[in-house]
Structure 1
Amino acid sequence: MSLFLAVDCGGSKTAVAIADASGTIVARATGGPSNITYLTPAEFIANVSAAIAAALADARPGAAPTLLAAPPPFAAAWFGISGADSPAAIARVAPALSTLLGLPLGPRLALANDTSLLASPLRTHPTATHAVAAVAGTGSITVAFARGADGAPAECSRAGGWGWLLGDEGSGFAVGRAALLAVLRESDAAGPGPREAPAPGSLVAGVLGYFNVGSALEVLPALYAPDPAPGVHAEGSAGRAREKRISVLAPLVFAAAFDARDPLALRVVEETAGKLAEQLVSLLLCGDGRTPIDASQTVLCFGGSLAGVDAYRALIVADLARRGHVFLDVVFVGDPAATGASGLASAFGGTEQ
């Protein structure tokens, strides 16, 4: 039985999926972190190989526990690696991965940034010329991919992904920051004097409740309090780093906007969705450095926890349509490893049966 491997290498875990030639997922496993920015090559290989071996044991019960087998256990493999932002970064681990799987670098062993797995629907859309991956989670990034000569996504441009200090448009941090600004500005506009209690479920009520304060200006000392010392655990917002005190607000903002229909929260999510849409437009116009990307021939592939919320994703897509960019298809990739493994099977399965 031919097997196809996809590995989503992230900062918190390694997710592995194995598909058969029909694209059906036959095994899965998770392992330790595998962002190559923060690990030595040896640590990276150790975590990745343990996760792959665990999945392979499920796919082939009774098979030898080692991956170093002849013939190689996988017909093709695809690694989406967090931190693989340059050829030099990939070169640090490429020889070891090639040896581990018994596959030469090339069409059957693809190593790229983890956003490449989000673009895997390009393999199953034969008429698409490009895929655009938009990640909106705690952080954000947008990356454009062209269809390579082998049918695999080949990165051609990117926008954003600079972290919370410099960008992350449309991310959890951006939503939280915009919500805080909206609450503080509304408080300033109301002027001094007594205030009515905020409506239950409203954005103001959510923000004040999270920081456990009675007024908007009382948020500031709680927001700017020093980060907790390493190993020290505290309750409430004080127990989080300042960045997390902001990004963790996103779920309550979404609840206020999409469930309670609070006007202030709705303005916040429309604003932040629009910022990510602007970034996507700049990516389309940048194209491959020579010509813009035609959205009508492009698959828009979303990933990340915020993009997984249908209402938020719809705001981004609607904003893009108002700007004249209507995509061939819009896909939320909630399981990049599984989507990648199935995409490999679609590309190579017919030649392996």
Structure 2
Amino acid sequence: MTRPEQSLYIGIDGGGSKTLCVVGDGTGQVRHVGYGGATNVKSSTRAETEAILLQLLEETLTRCGASMMDVAGLSLCLAGGHRPSDKAAMKQFMTPYFSRETRIVVQSDAAAAWAAGTWGQPGIVLIAGTGSIAYGRLSPESSEERAGGWGYLLGDEGSGFELSRKALQAVMRHYDGRGPATSMTEAVLARLELDQPEALIDWLYGHPAMRRELAALSDIVIHAAMKGDSVAETIVAEAACELRELVRAVRKRLGDERLPVIAAGGLFSAPYFYSAFIAALQQRDKEAGECRLLTLPPAVGAYYLALHEAGLASPATGKIIESSLRL
């Protein structure tokens, strides 16, 4: 029988801008971390996503002196891949490249962030980046509950995309004479090297990566709010309240109003925005429960889930993973 330290397990966190691959053994010791392109199954074609994943797997395993046939478990956590049909299609595609004994599990990228923040303990991960979603579980075996994550047309409340969209709306409202002045006008035009607000139309509607590029302007909104711009302050406060409601919805579904929250995603890297969210939580409930920032890459959570699928994971395993990453 192969010993845990001789087996290889892989966790992959695939998102709209990049993909991380973590390879480790059965004890929680990380061997290598690889990086690849975007693998969001909703914003890329299936063929593109599959090609990037295969190349990333092959390159990362080669650096470990191994091949796909040496892998005992694979956990794929992909953005846009939460529906059963998406999971089944990806598992079907991956299966022929590995041995018959390889355990393959496919979940959403939110599951990876949840595992990296909780090591399988009860909790909710709140992701606020380009998009937004709240995702919670009571254990790796329990059912998952989520709120949000429905994309920029149907959801993404409190996300970087929404902050930036509201900022540009405020710029155009002032340009029309329908709204107050805001420092975001000058900041946005300078960032995009445009002469006047009307030029935003061609930039926005003609950009091939509109959603990602628009969301990238969210730091302008946060900076303006920090400097006391009342329009930006309102936008940030509204976003914080929207994210709070995502958390409340998942807590209610899981039946525990005090479940800890792990905040993840680019917006929370700004202390001002994180503080605004905490204030929104406490505004509704003075004892809102624990909230902390995710400090590890979600890909290690995907690796943890691969170990769990093989019956090798526990909160103690999470500590081993953390220690091996610091080496």
TM-score, normalized by the shorter chain, greater than 0.5: yes
Q: Tell me the TM-score normalised to structure 1 length.
A: 0.72
- Corresponding residue for residue 73 of structure 1: 71
Secondary structure of 2:281's aligned partner: helix
The partner residue of 1:91 within 88, 97, 103 is 88
User: CA offsets, 1:50-76, max 9 Å, x none?
Assistant: 2122222223x3x4xx312xxx433x3
Structure with higher Rg: it is 1
Secondary structure of 1:315's aligned partner: helix
Question: Residue 247 in 1 paired to residue 215 in 2?
Answer: yes
The partner residue of 2:11 within 6, 13, 24 is 6
Pairing 1:106-117 to 2, within 5 Å after superposition: 108-117=103-112
- Corresponding residue for residue 200 of structure 2: 223
How many aligned positions are there? 306
User: Whole-Å Cα distance in 1 between the matches of residues 215 and 243 of structure 2?
Assistant: 16
Q: CA deviation at 1:244?
A: 5.6
RMSD (Å), alpha carbons: 3.5
Q: Tell me the TM-score normalised to structure 2 length.
A: 0.77
* Structure 2 CA distance for partners of 1:4 and 1:301, relative to 1, 3 Å: farther
Q: CA deviation at 1:6?
A: 0.4
Pairing 1:140-155 to 2, within 5 Å after superposition: 140-149=132-141, 154-155=143-144
* Structure with the higher helix share, 1 or 2: 2
Secondary structure of 1:180's aligned partner: helix
* Structure 2 CA distance for partners of 1:345 and 1:190, relative to 1, 3 Å: closer
- Corresponding residue for residue 303 of structure 2: 341
Pairing 1:33-48 to 2, within 5 Å after superposition: 33-37=38-42, 38-40=44-46, 44-48=49-53
Secondary structure of 1:115's aligned partner: helix
User: Whole-Å Cα distance in 2 between the matches of residues 212 and 13 of structure 1?
Assistant: 27
- Corresponding residue for residue 248 of structure 2: 281
User: Whole-Å Cα distance in 1 between the matches of residues 40 and 211 of structure 2?
Assistant: 20
Flag structure 1 segments of 5+ consecutive residues without an equivalent: 230-238
User: CA offsets, 1:231-269, max 9 Å, x none?
Assistant: xxxxxxxx56665664332111122233x3444433321
- Corresponding residue for residue 321 of structure 2: none
The partner residue of 1:137 within 116, 120, 129 is 129
User: Whole-Å Cα distance in 1 between the matches of residues 36 and 192 of structure 2?
Assistant: 34
Flag structure 2 segments of 5+ consecutive residues without an equivalent: 318-327
* Paired residues of 2:90 and 2:106 also in contact (CA < 8 A): no
Q: CA deviation at 1:182?
A: 4.1
- Corresponding residue for residue 101 of structure 1: 98
The partner residue of 2:276 within 315, 326, 330 is 315
Letter aligned with residue 272 of structure 1: A
* Structure 2 CA distance for partners of 1:223 and 1:203, relative to 1, 3 Å: closer
